[in-house]
Amino acid sequence: MIVNKKTNTMILIFVLIAILLISLIWFWPHKTERKNVFLNNQTFNVVIAKTVKTHMQGLMYKKELAENEGMLFFFPISAKHSFWMKNTYIPLDIIWFNDQKEVVYIEKNCQPCKTLICKSYIPQAPAKYVLELNANMSDKINLKVGDKISWE
């Protein structure tokens, strides 16, 4: 197959445009969506993570989290979504919920990862939603498997 200079130029232009579009989508400023969630008679103001970008970022690089704050991850399908604490500065409780919004698994007091390879936290059951709160909050509100979450 003979590839001429014009074809190479067209391919290069296409690749550059694709990279530009992906970069614009990735780095375009977006409004942070927040919701109040209710769990065991407590209200938490959480940031919503619905996109691949917000799933990947999570609470990385956040230096502090108020007692009533957290992050709620929405996933398109129920699965055993794993989490890790890479570049996370705040110890967290990670709570997985099924599609009926019931707690299916709680990983308590997950510590920030300071090494190159970090532990993955994987629930024992599929989940559609995951909530990250300050460490030990699940104990403070007496959270257990089967408890339900709701939001506005």
Q: What is the CATH number of the domain that holds 77?
A: 2.60.120.1140
pLDDT in the model for residue 25:
55
Q: Which residue has the higher pLDDT, 138 or 3?
A: 138
pLDDT in the model for residue 18:
73
Q: Is residue 87 part of a domain?
A: yes
Alpha helices in 28-134, H assignment, sequence order: 52-57
Of 5-9, 37-41, 138-142, the range with the lowest mean pLDDT is 5-9
pLDDT in the model for residue 120:
94
Q: Is residue 127 part of a domain?
A: yes
Q: Is 54 exposed, middle or buried, given 0-12, 13-18 or 19+ CB atoms closer than 10 A?
A: middle
pLDDT in the model for residue 26:
52
Q: Is residue 19 part of a domain?
A: no
Q: Is residue 5 part of a domain?
A: no
pLDDT (tens digit per residue) in 107-118: 999 999 989 899
Q: Which domain holds residue 53?
A: 34-151
Q: Is residue 6 part of a domain?
A: no
Q: Which residues contact 141 (CB under 8 A, 6 or more apart)?
A: 39, 40, 41, 42
Q: Is residue 11 part of a domain?
A: no
* Mean pLDDT value of segment 92-96: 98
pLDDT in the model for residue 6:
74
Q: Is residue 53 part of a domain?
A: yes
| Mean of pLDDT over the chain | 88
Q: Is residue 29 part of a domain?
A: no
Considering its fold, how many domains does the chain have in total?
1
Q: In the chain, what percentage of residues exceed pLDDT 70?
A: 91
* Mean pLDDT value of segment 25-29: 52
* Residue written as token pair 């709160």: 133
